[in-house]
Structure 1
């Protein structure tokens, strides 16, 4: 039986580090799916990517998959651990999609997850705890990522919140909301 785990929290909270720890603890071969694309003109972005690369054990396989996440998960081999970092970047990669196309993309991902025979670790950023974005694209991003996190959280075995340098197991501390009404 595969496990599906969601690790969420604010920027720079340690989400990725906790997911990496869980991947190592799984004892299974790890496939790290990076959803970000490199931009060599943005040195600060490259430094962030490099920090993540340096933390990964050498025996992990890294796949750069900015868009075709559902296909990559469907192709996952049993008895492996897939770490997806991050869903926020993956959502941003689809920001130009109209709402109907996005709903199709999201639905395909959520339908595929229960069929995957590998352990799945998803890292996602919480964006709705601050100021409402002043621009439509920012609100679209926030709303899409928040909806994904809520829907994914309802199908996960465990949901962790990493904040303030601490890890909270929300699956033990709380209980899931009923499904959102359309």
Structure 2
């Protein structure tokens, strides 16, 4: 990984169980920087499956990585934690979006704009964002599912062109979309 940029943003996206978190963790490790893991999940002791998923993520991370739980205030975390030498690993944007589904469209737009601004103003040298791809299946039959899918899809679409590297992880492979892809939104 190139460590010569003052600030670098990497977006890692893909479907469920594709390996995107593992790829993001590998990139963080290979950066050679101290890593601060920003977890967006809320723990729920009544949900054994969710608890097991969180535990699996924790067990996979090196013990020396610090973890910050930030289920809703991602923009604040991006602006206030880390240093110019560290790597922030945010896992995941889909969970963050789900945690804010109750917001109306105006409040949601404000949160998104604040996160995009924070990515530019942050103190950390490297930020790796993990995001789920939700629009590859059927259109959800219930309104809240459609809001989630649309909000996350729009956020990922806005982040991709702003990121210095964008990876799609699927089928056991990480594809470098900057190198292989053609941008559809040209200024």
TM-score by length of 1: 0.96
1:164 paired to 2:171 = yes
Match among 16, 31, 41 for residue 21 of structure 2: 16
How many angstroms apart in 1 are the aligned matches of 2:30 and 2:89?
12
Distance 1:25 1:79, change over 3 A: same
Structure 2 counterpart of 1:114, from 120, 126, 131: 120
The range that moved more, 2-11 or 69-78, is: 69-78
2:11 to 6, 10, 18: 6
- Give structure 2 stretches of 5+ with no counterpart: 1-5
Compute the displacement of 1:179 (Å): 6.3
User: For residues 81-92 of structure 1, what are the structure 2 equivalents within 5 Å?
Assistant: 81-92=87-98
Contact 2:89 2:127 in 1 (8 A): yes
Q: Does residue 1:98 correspond to 2:101, yes or no? A: no
CA distance in 2, matches of 1:45, 1:137: 20
Indicate the residue corresponding to 1:52 in structure 2.
57
Hey, what's the Cα distance between the residues in 2 that align with 1:179 and 1:81?
29
Q: 1:80 aligns with which of 77, 86, 89?
A: 86
CA distance in 2, matches of 1:96, 1:167: 33
Match of 1:132 among 127, 139, 143: 139
Residues 147-162 of structure 1 aligned to structure 2 (within 5 Å): 147-162=154-169
Aligned mates of 1:108, 1:24 — CA distance in 2? 27
How many Å separate the matches in 2 of 1:28 and 1:176?
Answer: 30
Matches within 5 A, 1:140-151: 140-151=147-158
* Kept in 1: contact 2:91–2:129 (CA 8 A): yes
Runs of 4 or more, structure 1, over 3 Å off, are none
Structure 2 counterpart of 1:30:
35
Aligned residues: 180
Tell me the residue number matched to 1:62.
Answer: 67
